[in-house]
Structure 1
Amino acid sequence: MSTDRITMIRERLDAALSPTQIDIIDESAKHAGHAGAKGGGGHFIVTLISGNFSGKSLIERHRMVYDALGDAMQSEIHALSINAKAPEEI
Structure 2
Amino acid sequence: MSVAARIRTKLTEALAPSALEVIDESHKHKGHMGARPEGETHFHVAVTSEKFAGMMRVARQRLVYNILADELAGPVHALSLETIAPGDPKRSAS
TM-score by length of 1: 0.88
CA drift of 1:88 comes to 1.3
Secondary structure at 2:82's aligned position in 1? Answer: strand
SS in structure 1 at match of 2:17: coil
Return 79-88 or 29-38, whichever deviates more: 29-38
> Among residues 29, 32, 39, which one is paired with 1:31 in the alignment?
29
Is the helix fraction higher in 1 or 2? 1
Aligned residues: 88
Q: Which amino acid aligns with 1:23?
A: E
CA RMSD of aligned residues (A): 1.9
Structure 1 runs of 4+ aligned residues shifted over 6 Å read: none
2: CA distance between counterparts of 1:70 and 1:46? 15
CA deviations over 1:22-69 (Å, ceiling 9, x no partner):
00111101111112214x761000000000000000000000100111
8 Å CA contact 1:42, 1:79 repeated in 2: yes
Show the counterpart of 1:22. 20
Query: Is the Cα contact below 8 Å between 1:41 and 1:75 reproduced in 2?
Result: no
- Aligned mates of 2:82, 2:47 — CA distance in 1: 6
Report if the CA contact (8 A) 2:24-2:40 is conserved: no
What residue in structure 2 maps to residue 54 of structure 1?
53
What does residue 75 of structure 2 align with? 76
Change (3 A) 1:22 1:46: same
Secondary structure of 1:36's aligned partner: coil
